[in-house]
Structure 1
């Protein structure tokens, strides 16, 4: 096997691990009705179970990111995959709501370790000329992994049970764990004597890191809320549950396709700034048209708008993850910078959906949701202009 093929295979293992980690995020929605019936899960508990996987990211993403370089990138990926595998197996065996919550929180830490270490590890493994495309593939992990789960989980539940979903995804995660342990060369922890507090301080004092995190935050909450409210659209239009699941999965996968296309465009020399702004402009158009005329639009047009929102949102996600490699205060602080991005993303995804629900319930209309999302996208454009007026300190 040639060196080029070997590098490519190693890159795919890391990217595949990101997809596998995101599948654990997407496995729960299809299982909620079954868990409510079998374990007596209440509606409030269901909502908390869906959101508690974000707890690790909201509270500890930056802190854990500062430890990644110290512990070693490969070691952190393996630890994250191990936590996901073990927690998924334990959750599949349990019949206790408390245990299900505990395992979900542990899965959140596993997911965080994989997604914090992945970009920096790809940077070490990938040839410089293919790095933009590889980061585009990496950035597709959330949309792609969640989309795969939304397609496969209902089928497994219908044929067997929700526990089989947990066991199956644990097996997939374990296969990537073994592959990475066997094929990826060991990465030695950083020998630079930079105290963890200094690394966090360096990142917190670095303006581009804040800008990257805030830009991604203005986008991530919007995407999560739009996908989250899809069931409302389907219910209003009397769409069958099986078809609804496939349509939701296609919207999620569209985001992965958008991030992959973004990576290819970046590799061909298109400016990241233009791609981010284009993504936000399309987000504004789709959000305004969808939410201001939601009740009068035919279903297909509603779906096309949400699909386009997700697809072009991938341009934002792919560009921001790629730029994290360039704008980090130092190569050692890449994981810390990604930690800031993920922390802001998790906070946005946690806060925006209930804020939208409160806005709709208090005003009685979805019109102001479109306005809110447009304001967030305009803020994203302003922050993007500011980010690219700064010269990056590191190179990929």
Structure 2
């Protein structure tokens, strides 16, 4: 491969990652804006939980269907559509005069988010191969903590929550321009047969279902903490809004270390189930310590860092397993879509359940929620290796891709 093709491959990966970061920023902005929303609209913790949780409703209902649509209409078109919907919904949210209309705009932002995070991996699957594909998926898994961290850092810089919403929409427009300039369109969706038939194949794949369940449990644990982390830090550490945003950003961005470590360890033969089992155990134990308030404030924040950093092993491992679970290249977007359904289920349940139990019983009640999710994730990790092994024969007969626009690395 010549230098120009190498640079093109890297540019594609970074542009796709940038789109994911913008999408995650729209998800995370509600958490850092909670104090501003409380002052402006009188939103309580339960309402703040719904502002984050409702973002996931469409993804929960139609993740696999979105994957089928992405495969049928083209990943680049779907990515552009997702960025456009996100930008428009963000503008509508900034102009919303009431909490109810803001919730509706968040629902539409969730649609854009879903299209972005399903189309992004589909583009990487189409345009990278071999070791470059493994590296690309590992890097892609960093989009969530990076976007969340960006939201936490940027949020306190705005005097109003509307300013954060307007800026997020502008970033979505910029990302769409970058996609139009830098990412080639696929010449074919490569998806034979009927949409419903291919969705059914993925839904009846035990490996794909386990990946979705694992993502649901991880997201539940992650958003149980990070949807309320700025508020937790302000209450537990008695710090300012800006300081809480910076510390929350640090806690979020260390998740990237786990994402990248998973890619490194998988290349060297680490067991997928073992990585998920270890990370789930650490998240569960850390979550108990964080929410029950057993430690001094500084030690509690260190537990937040541990929770995030080790937890990052899980999404990277799950995403890297999607091609193995799907078996066929044209089924990968649907498998990723099903995983995003699981992720959105966790995004919905985490903040809503924790917001509800916290409003009723205090922060201590959130600890058992995280622990139960961690135990269930551990069971999923034990079942996953055998399920992936049974999926491998379906892949052995699939031809190597040689489509126009592929970046061979």
TM-score, normalised to structure 2's length?
Answer: 0.87
C-alpha displacement at 1:240, in angstroms?
2.5
Equivalent positions of 1:293-332 (< 5 A) are 294-332=292-330
Compared with structure 1, are the counterparts of its residues 255 and 357 closer, same or farther at alpha carbon in structure 2 (3 Å cutoff)? same
C-alpha displacement at 1:348, in angstroms?
2.4
Contact 1:215 1:384 in 2 (8 A): no
C-alpha displacement at 1:64, in angstroms?
1.5
Q: Does 1:50 align with 2:48?
A: no
C-alpha displacement at 1:32, in angstroms?
3.4
C-alpha displacement at 1:176, in angstroms?
1.4
Compared with structure 1, are the counterparts of its residues 25 and 355 closer, same or farther at alpha carbon in structure 2 (3 Å cutoff)? closer
Which position in structure 1 is the counterpart of 2:88? Answer: 86
Equivalent positions of 1:150-189 (< 5 A) are 150-155=152-157, 157-158=158-159, 161-189=160-188
Q: Does 1:105 align with 2:104?
A: no
C-alpha displacement at 1:391, in angstroms?
4.4
Structure 1's unaligned 5+ residue stretches are none
Q: Report the Cα distance in structure 1 between the residues aligned to 2:117 and 2:15, rounded to whole angstroms.
A: 13
Q: Report the Cα distance in structure 2 between the residues aligned to 1:301 and 1:116, rounded to whole angstroms.
A: 37
Q: Report the Cα distance in structure 2 between the residues aligned to 1:358 and 1:183, rounded to whole angstroms.
A: 44
- Per the alignment, in what secondary structure is the counterpart of residue 390 of structure 1? helix
Which position in structure 1 is the counterpart of 2:245? Answer: 245
1:140-186 deviation line (CA, Å, top 9, x unaligned): 1111101111111211x13xx33322222222221111111112111
Alignment coverage as a number of residue pairs: 391
Q: Report the Cα distance in structure 2 between the residues aligned to 1:357 and 1:149, rounded to whole angstroms.
A: 20
Q: Does 1:376 align with 2:365?
A: no
Equivalent positions of 1:1-396 (< 5 A) are 2-39=4-41, 45-155=47-157, 157-158=158-159, 161-190=160-189, 192-230=191-229, 231-290=231-290, 294-356=292-354, 366=365, 368-369=368-369, 371-392=371-392, 393-394=394-395
C-alpha displacement at 1:370, in angstroms?
5.9
1:260-299 deviation line (CA, Å, top 9, x unaligned): 23223334554434332332232244345545xx333112
Compared with structure 1, are the counterparts of its residues 103 and 311 closer, same or farther at alpha carbon in structure 2 (3 Å cutoff)? same
Contact 1:82 1:174 in 2 (8 A): yes
Compared with structure 1, are the counterparts of its residues 229 and 29 closer, same or farther at alpha carbon in structure 2 (3 Å cutoff)? closer
Q: Report the Cα distance in structure 2 between the residues aligned to 1:168 and 1:117, rounded to whole angstroms.
A: 23
TM-score, normalised to structure 1's length?
Answer: 0.89
1:28-63 deviation line (CA, Å, top 9, x unaligned): 233334344445556654443332211111111122
- Per the alignment, in what secondary structure is the counterpart of residue 297 of structure 1? coil
Q: Report the Cα distance in structure 2 between the residues aligned to 1:72 and 1:129, rounded to whole angstroms.
A: 24
Compared with structure 1, are the counterparts of its residues 96 and 302 closer, same or farther at alpha carbon in structure 2 (3 Å cutoff)? closer
Structure 2's unaligned 5+ residue stretches are 401-409
Deviates more, 1:53-62 or 1:85-94: 85-94
1:226-249 deviation line (CA, Å, top 9, x unaligned): 223433354033222222111111
Q: Report the Cα distance in structure 2 between the residues aligned to 1:92 and 1:23, rounded to whole angstroms.
A: 15
Compared with structure 1, are the counterparts of its residues 364 and 352 closer, same or farther at alpha carbon in structure 2 (3 Å cutoff)? closer
1:187-225 deviation line (CA, Å, top 9, x unaligned): 134254411110111111111111111122222211111
Compared with structure 1, are the counterparts of its residues 369 and 37 closer, same or farther at alpha carbon in structure 2 (3 Å cutoff)? closer
Deviates more, 1:338-347 or 1:235-244: 235-244
Q: Report the Cα distance in structure 2 between the residues aligned to 1:376 and 1:126, rounded to whole angstroms.
A: 34
